[in-house]
């Protein structure tokens, strides 16, 4: 019997990699529902190949999609729209597994809906957990959802931890012999740039990651190291550890995806070629393993592995994320909202690369922090933070 999969964000890089893994195992998995935002050409091709039962798009795209599916004689595919449609497929009774791969805050409510429906949720949307970490993790426990990390770093940590680590009491202290988590970072495309050089980098340069093929937003986040800051917050929630037990290690080759250190002096690392099909396959089949087309790591061709500490002067985003996690409450939501606005402004040429973190820091200082008591409060704070960040960006431009 096949398991039915819902892919939120099917035309993105994670969604495409998920389809590659599923296509290799048609006897075990089927594509039940997918969502996409703007790439209708790719979406129609996916519908032709995988025949999902339901597709979700923005309302303004629904009529065009319906016409194009009719032209392809795909009239039996149901079309839903907007956030309500995303939630509907995420919690659908027929769905067994949800790949949460929508970028940014837009993925929060559908991911939470999948968790509350008790699904196996493959978490590729780190922002959802950054914004609502305590609420999301409590919902997973309350509804017996299996929340498995797909980010290569968190998946590597998960593989390197004791097998029952996610079931332990959530105290913030490392347990079962764990002493700390080592979260690796490639350093991005500007690892060896000077601070002066960073001032003039372009969006095109920032989106050209040296090791991974990713979307624009996450590529810019990798270039500023904000992606690593968001991942630090995500790791704290996923593995119930305080931020001072998470050490970021710059590892330019992206061969070791992260490590876990133990009290006996052991350090366990998960290694592999940089391909998202590996963590996706692991999360899909856990605790079993799936065959993928990712070539095994050839240690003889891996000449050397380098490690260094991050430069917090050139890349202040990491410290901003640590401060937000330490502050708790709504601070991570404010951090994420301001960063999404700042990155979008940078990609449009409205601010410089080095001004991204300035926008985030200003917004963190300008928005009052409080307890993240409900999703409504989180979403309201997200909206307020975005407004303040946008206003500050206008001031920079002026």
Whole-angstrom distance, CA of residue 348 vs CA of residue 346: 5
Cβ neighbours of residue 35 under 8 Å, at least 6 residues apart? 7, 8, 9, 10, 55, 56, 57, 85, 86, 89, 102
Q: Given this model, what pLDDT does residue 213 score?
A: 62
pLDDT at 364 over 60: yes
For residue 210, the SS3 value is coil
What's the CA gap between 153 and 298, in Å, rounded? 20
Q: What integer is the mean pLDDT of 272-276?
A: 93
More confidently predicted of 396 and 90 = 90
Q: Please give the average per-residue pLDDT across 185-204, as a whole number.
A: 92
pLDDT (tens digit per residue) in 44-89: 999 999 999 999 999 999 999 999 999 999 989 999 999 999 999 9
> 239 in the Ramachandran plot: left (φ > 0), alpha (ψ -120 to 50) or beta?
alpha
Please determine, for residue 143, whether its predicted confidence score (pLDDT) is greater than 70: yes
Q: Span 115-134, mean pLDDT? A: 94
Q: What is the pLDDT of residue 170?
A: 74
Residue 127 has pLDDT above 60, yes or no: yes
Average pLDDT, the chain: 94
Model confidence pLDDT, tens digit, residues 236-265: 999 999 999 999 999 999 999 999 999 999
- What was the pLDDT predicted at 173? 87
Tokens of 271: 């290694």
Average pLDDT over residues 139-153: 95
Q: Are 317 and 224 in contact (CB under 8 A)?
A: yes
* Beta strands at 3-8 and 29-35: parallel, antiparallel or unpaired: parallel
% the chain with pLDDT above 70: 98
> What is the Cα–Cα distance from 136 to 113, expressed in whole angstroms?
10
Position 158 pLDDT exceeds 60:
yes
Give yes or no for residue 104 having a pLDDT over 90: no
Structural domain boundaries of the chain?
3-149, 153-322, 328-398
Q: What pairing do the DSSP bridges indicate for beta strands 256-262 and 178-185?
A: antiparallel
pLDDT in tens, 277-333: 999 999 999 999 999 999 999 988 887 899 999 999 999 999 999 999 999 999 999
Q: How many CB atoms sit inside 10 A of residue 239's CB?
A: 23
Question: What is the H or E stretch that residue 216 is in?
Answer: helix 216-224
* pLDDT at residue 211 tops 70: no
The answer on pLDDT for 379 being more than 70 is yes
Q: What is the pLDDT of residues 342-355, one digit of tens each?
A: 999 999 999 999 99
pTM (two decimals):
0.93
pLDDT(210) > 70: no
Tell the CATH topology of 328-398: Rna Polymerase Sigma Factor; Chain: A (1.10.1740)
Q: Does domain 3-149 have CATH number 3.40.50.720?
A: yes
Residue 398 has pLDDT above 60, yes or no: no
């Amino acid at each position: 019997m096949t398991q039915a999969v819902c892919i939120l964000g099917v035309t993105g890089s994670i969604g495409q990699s998920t389809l590659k893994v599923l296509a290799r195992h048609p006897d075990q998995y089927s594509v039940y529902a997918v969502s996409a935002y703007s790439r209708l050409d790719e979406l129609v091709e996916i519908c032709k190949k995988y025949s999902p039962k339901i597709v979700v798009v923005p309302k303004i795209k629904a009529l065009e999609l319906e016409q194009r599916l009719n032209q392809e004689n795909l009239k039996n595919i149901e079309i839903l729209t907007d956030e309500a449609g995303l939630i509907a497929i995420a919690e659908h009774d027929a769905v067994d597994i949800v790949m949460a791969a929508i970028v940014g805050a837009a993925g929060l409510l559908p991911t939470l809906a999948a968790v509350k429906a008790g699904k196996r949720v493959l978490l590729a949307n780190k922002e959802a957990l950054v914004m609502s970490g305590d609420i999301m993790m409590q919902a997973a426990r309350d509804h017996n959802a299996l929340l498995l990390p797909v980010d290569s770093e968190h998946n590597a940590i998960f593989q390197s931890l004791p097998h029952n680590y996610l079931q332990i009491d959530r105290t913030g202290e490392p347990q079962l012999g764990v002493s700390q988590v080592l979260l690796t970072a490639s350093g991005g495309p500007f690892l060896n740039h000077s601070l002066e050089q960073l001032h003039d980098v372009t969006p095109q340069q920032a989106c050209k990651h040296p090791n991974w093929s990713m979307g624009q937003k996450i590529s810019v986040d990798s270039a500023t190291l904000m992606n690593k800051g968001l991942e630090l917050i995500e790791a704290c929630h996923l593995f119930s550890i305080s931020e001072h037990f998470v050490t970021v290690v710059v590892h330019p080759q992206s061969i070791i995806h992260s490590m876990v250190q133990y009290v006996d002096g052991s350090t366990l690392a998960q290694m592999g070629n940089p391909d998202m099909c590996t963590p996706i396959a692991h999360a899909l089949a856990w605790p079993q393993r799936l065959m993928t087309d990712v070539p095994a790591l050839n240690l003889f061709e891996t000449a050397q592995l380098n490690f260094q500490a991050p430069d917090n002067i050139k890349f202040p985003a990491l410290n901003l994320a640590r401060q937000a996690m330490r502050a708790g409450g709504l601070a991570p939501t404010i951090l994420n909202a301001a960063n999404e606005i700042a990155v979008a402004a940078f990609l449009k040429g409205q601010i410089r690369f080095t001004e991204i973190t300035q926008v985030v820091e200003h917004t963190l200082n300008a928005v009052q922090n409080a307890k993240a008591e409900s999703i409504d409060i989180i979403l309201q704070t997200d909206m307020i933070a975005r407004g303040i960040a946008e206003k500050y960006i206008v001031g920079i431009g002026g």
